[in-house]
Structure 1
Amino acid sequence: MTKNTTTERGQYPLFLDEPTDVDLLSFDAVASTVVEAVLDPRLDPIALGLSGSWGSGKTSVLRLIARQLRESTGEVGTCLVIETDPWRYDPQLGIKESLIGEILTAIEAALPADGVGEKSKALLKRLMKRVDWTKAMKLAATSAITVSLPSVDKVLDLVKPKSEVEGEDQPEPITDMVQFRAEFAALLESDGLAEIENVVVLVDDLDRCLPETVVETLETIRLFLSVPKMSFVIAADEERVAEAIATRFSDSGEIGEESPARLYLHKIVQTSVPVPALSDFDTEAYLVLLQIRSLVSSDADYDTIVAEVAEARHAAVMIETVKSLQRTEFVEHRNNAARIRPIIHEKTRGNPRRIKRFLNDLSVRLSIAAKRGISLDEATIAKLMVLEQYFPQEFKTVTDWLRERTLRSNLEALEVQAGTPESTETTSHDTTEVDSESAGEAEPDDTEKSPKKAAKADTPSAKPQFSEGLIRWARLSPALANKDIAPYLVFAASFKSVFLESDALPESIRDMATQLLSRSTSEARRVSDDMLRNLEPSNANRLVTYIGGVIVDEPQRQTGGVIAMLRISRVQPGAVKSVVNALKRIKPSDLKVAAFTTLQATDAPEIMAQFDAMATASGKGELTGAMAAVKEDV
């Protein structure tokens, strides 16, 4: 497997959920601690636990241990490393037999080809035949329910040793497992294995196994294989293993370290080396190193970056000081990692697999969003992903704002209250509303006031109330109130089967609103002036208010929305005030020239005054020019 575990195709790579040979997390310290223990002759034989939750990196540490042990060959003698995974054993062939057979097969491969190992080979064959005999018996027992088998004697004949040399007797297989341990010890001390000083068995994924497999594996280690020269490293979540053991032992009522399951486990596994959860630094480093992998073409170059990050970790300095991460193409990934790291670290509890899963989900969102024409930057989508993944109730709140057409105003109020980086700066020089006096109109009703104004009110009761989770999320940069995030929210909600169609309108005019806001001009024209004229005045005002909310929350629909409101105002004079109030919610800087397309000098004076005030407040020559052209009826 290559070191680059990301997909090389596409702008948004996925990361395989597989152990890696590249130590991105400085687990080498954990691995070397285990290696020192299993090679210490004073601790022979030993069984060590490598404890950590699922996804914590136990398998990656086992790989580092295997590599360090193999590299130690020649320094402290020959070390035979055997890697096994009981999760993949066939229960019909026996758990004990599968583990023992795997170890004996590896030992057989290590025996010398010359005559020195003949005695060792004879012992090995005797042990292997015992394993074959037991497997045959188990298979016969489990298969006899459904198939007709020969007699037990004939089954045993299948596995009895046969001489390869005519006239030479072979030893009978061991039929009593009590004999096995003694002969296994003799095998390891035989001349053929004199050069091997350590046999280290690395057991992975034990915590994934069924309780029966867990107990049988541990019993095999303790009863049959725990002899001099043998060492075991068992990678598993100790809590899950203890739970599996508990299914085989009566519960005395004790808990924790004194429970029967714990005592049983500690009798077999002398001590456990924990795989530590990632620190803040580790989490940020992992986020950066994973994301930049697809940008680094050379394995050697990537290894250099990883080594420099490890040096920074050991020196307890910030990741920003790592020289190799200063490349321009890495800046965005570094900034994104720094932004989301505090929440990612807390919500994943420093678990590498969960962090990788978040990045994979982010890559999927970025890829699909780009193909759907959602032009949001990666930092914005990453922030929205944090909300979606780790604040589900708050995500629902924000999508409810979109449904109710109060998204932009609520985001502004939230960011003001949270003190979001960039929010104060972006709103201070860009007034959301033009004062009503400048438009020649009275203040809108209380229901029309924006939450931004409410947030500035002196009385606490006037302040919008946001959850602590929302405020915490809002403090992440970038600020979102000025971004068109509605298309992404609709897209993200679809992953959770959340329907965001607004229920703010009566059914009688809901279809009309959809048609008026359509990107197709012909579809919008299907709503005739007569249909608008025949609306009840209250429904006309509701329709305008709704359209006004849409074009604020989804600026890409502004032109069609303004055209629709102007059409309504011309046939429903009572809706003029609602149109003016809707226009006030548009920031002057967000106003588009296209919104002036159908504006006429004969339109209501209040509407003309509002457009004029907004064009002037924007400071944009193209808007003031468009307004002048309308006044001249050009």
Structure 2
Amino acid sequence: MKELRIIRDDPSFSHGGYKREEDAFDHEAFAQTIFRVVKDNEPPLTIGLFGGWGLGKTSIINLLEAKCAAEGGKHKFVMFNAWAYSGDSLRRQLLISLAKGLIADSGKRGIEIERLRKLNYASALEEEPGYSLRELWERGRDTGLLSALKSELLRAFENVKLAQQGIVGIFMSAVLFLVAIVMIVYGGIRSEMEIQRWGFLSLFLGVANFLMPKVENVFVLKRREIFDARLIFPEQFEEEYSNLIDKFAHNADKVVVVIDDLDRCDAETIKSVLVTLKNFMGKGKTVFVVPMDDSSVVRMFRGENTNIGYE
């Protein structure tokens, strides 16, 4: 019995594995034409690669990538999948894809990608129930104890330093407690208030030294990151995009950016990408290639089908 094999819907010629005998639809000719347009024309330039699903647009893009790679860095190639990131900031993800395609050094690439991921993040302090130190001070500032403590602390802290916790810290606390008891008792017997005040100060320092590791359980400042849902603003995106090109593609003649799977996105995402292409990316040395099923995009905007995709 003969085998019944299924023809898989996988793009051909990935990773430069082109074989002429497997190219029945002559994808090489299309890729070569696009590459010649890229080489022979100055940017800004946008190239549309139109065709229905299953006609080999991705295979053509794979061949184009191999041709750019063969130029020895003169033509940088960046692949951006619009559909994969339609739930996130397209602008942010495009910048990250650009960094991945342009930066050869893995260390620098990782640092730059992390920086781009955090664009428009802000650190904030999350409020916790309780009193602030200022409120506690204001509540007790009229008492004689606080006034005396403030005066003694200002003078004593110039010469007193808390030891590190551990055996040394425990030993220091024990010494301070012992000194405090002796001075308080001796001052009470001799009716010397000054000696007693120093005894109470020693007691306070002993307690503070002993409880210092527990401070984080008393004073709580929880830090969290707030994310701006609007993500990267157009002006910020344009600046970041230009910086990436200038910094990491200064030795390249052209930067070829492919916006893939755009026809799988919803109408709002498609519109956002096209407007971004028109208004903010037609600069410098960038050439954009947009492979898509144009008939699906037209139907999307006409409202004939609200679920366009690869079915």
What TM bracket, shorter-length normalisation? 0.5 to 0.7
Match of 2:297 among 228, 234, 241: 241
* Aligned residue number for residue 80 of structure 2: 84
Written as runs of structure 1 = structure 2, the 5 A alignment for 1:187-586 is: 187-190=244-247, 192-246=248-302
* Aligned residue number for residue 408 of structure 1: none
Counterpart residue type for residue 87 of structure 1: W
* Aligned residue number for residue 7 of structure 2: 15
Measure how far apart 1:178 and its partner are.
Answer: 0.8
Alignment check: 8 A CA contact 2:238 2:280 kept: yes
**CA 1:111–1:39: 2 relative to 1, 3 Å:** farther
**CA 1:183–1:204: 2 relative to 1, 3 Å:** closer
| CA–CA separation in structure 1 for the residues paired with 2:86 and 2:122 | 13
Match of 1:106 among 80, 90, 101: 101
Alignment check: 8 A CA contact 1:96 1:216 kept: no
Write out per-residue CA displacement over residues 439-464 of structure 1, whole angstroms, 9 at most, x where no aligned residue.
Answer: xxxxxxxxxxxxxxxxxxxxxxxxxx
Written as runs of structure 1 = structure 2, the 5 A alignment for 1:604-615 is: none
| CA–CA separation in structure 2 for the residues paired with 1:175 and 1:237 | 28
* Aligned residue number for residue 133 of structure 1: 119
Alignment check: 8 A CA contact 1:214 1:244 kept: no
Alignment check: 8 A CA contact 2:83 2:265 kept: yes
**CA 1:55–1:175: 2 relative to 1, 3 Å:** closer
Q: Which structure: greater helix fraction? A: 1
Identity of aligned residues (%): 25
Q: Which structure: greater strand fraction? A: 2
Counterpart residue type for residue 95 of structure 2: I
Write out per-residue CA displacement over residues 389-410 of structure 1, whole angstroms, 9 at most, x where no aligned residue.
Answer: xxxxxxxxxxxxxxxxxxxxxx
Alignment check: 8 A CA contact 2:95 2:240 kept: no
* Aligned residue number for residue 63 of structure 1: 62
Alignment check: 8 A CA contact 2:79 2:259 kept: yes
| CA–CA separation in structure 2 for the residues paired with 1:179 and 1:47 | 22
Measure how far apart 1:233 and its partner are.
Answer: 0.8
| CA–CA separation in structure 2 for the residues paired with 1:18 and 1:223 | 34
Counterpart residue type for residue 30 of structure 2: V
Give the secondary structure class of the aligned counterpart of 2:47.
strand
Unpaired runs of 5+ residues, structure 2, are 14-21, 124-222, 304-309
Measure how far apart 1:129 and its partner are.
Answer: 3.9
Alignment check: 8 A CA contact 1:181 1:227 kept: no
* Aligned residue number for residue 28 of structure 2: 28
| CA–CA separation in structure 1 for the residues paired with 2:63 and 2:31 | 6
**CA 1:136–1:218: 2 relative to 1, 3 Å:** farther
* Aligned residue number for residue 507 of structure 1: none
Alignment check: 8 A CA contact 2:89 2:232 kept: no
Measure how far apart 1:11 and its partner are.
Answer: 2.2
| CA–CA separation in structure 2 for the residues paired with 1:176 and 1:78 | 31
* Aligned residue number for residue 220 of structure 2: none
| CA–CA separation in structure 1 for the residues paired with 2:298 and 2:100 | 30
Counterpart residue type for residue 189 of structure 1: D
**CA 1:131–1:227: 2 relative to 1, 3 Å:** farther
Alignment check: 8 A CA contact 2:43 2:285 kept: yes
| CA–CA separation in structure 1 for the residues paired with 2:93 and 2:56 | 25
Measure how far apart 1:232 and its partner are.
Answer: 1.2
| CA–CA separation in structure 1 for the residues paired with 2:75 and 2:28 | 19
Write out per-residue CA displacement over residues 603-624 of structure 1, whole angstroms, 9 at most, x where no aligned residue.
Answer: xxxxxxxxxxxxxxxxxxxxxx
| CA–CA separation in structure 1 for the residues paired with 2:302 and 2:86 | 23
Unpaired runs of 5+ residues, structure 1, are 1-8, 138-152, 160-173, 248-352, 354-634
Measure how far apart 1:52 and its partner are.
Answer: 0.6
Alignment check: 8 A CA contact 1:52 1:238 kept: yes
Measure how far apart 1:175 and its partner are.
Answer: 6.8
Measure how far apart 1:136 and its partner are.
Answer: 8.6
Alignment check: 8 A CA contact 2:98 2:244 kept: no
* Aligned residue number for residue 234 of structure 2: 177
Write out per-residue CA displacement over residues 381-437 of structure 1, whole angstroms, 9 at most, x where no aligned residue.
Answer: xxxxxxxxxxxxxxxxxxxxxxxxxxxxxxxxxxxxxxxxxxxxxxxxxxxxxxxxx
Counterpart residue type for residue 177 of structure 1: P
Give the secondary structure class of the aligned counterpart of 1:50.
strand
Measure how far apart 1:66 and its partner are.
Answer: 1.3
* Aligned residue number for residue 45 of structure 1: 44
| CA–CA separation in structure 2 for the residues paired with 1:33 and 1:229 | 19
Counterpart residue type for residue 64 of structure 2: I
| CA–CA separation in structure 1 for the residues paired with 2:117 and 2:300 | 25
Measure how far apart 1:240 and its partner are.
Answer: 1.8
Alignment check: 8 A CA contact 1:104 1:128 kept: no
* Aligned residue number for residue 141 of structure 2: none
Counterpart residue type for residue 97 of structure 2: E
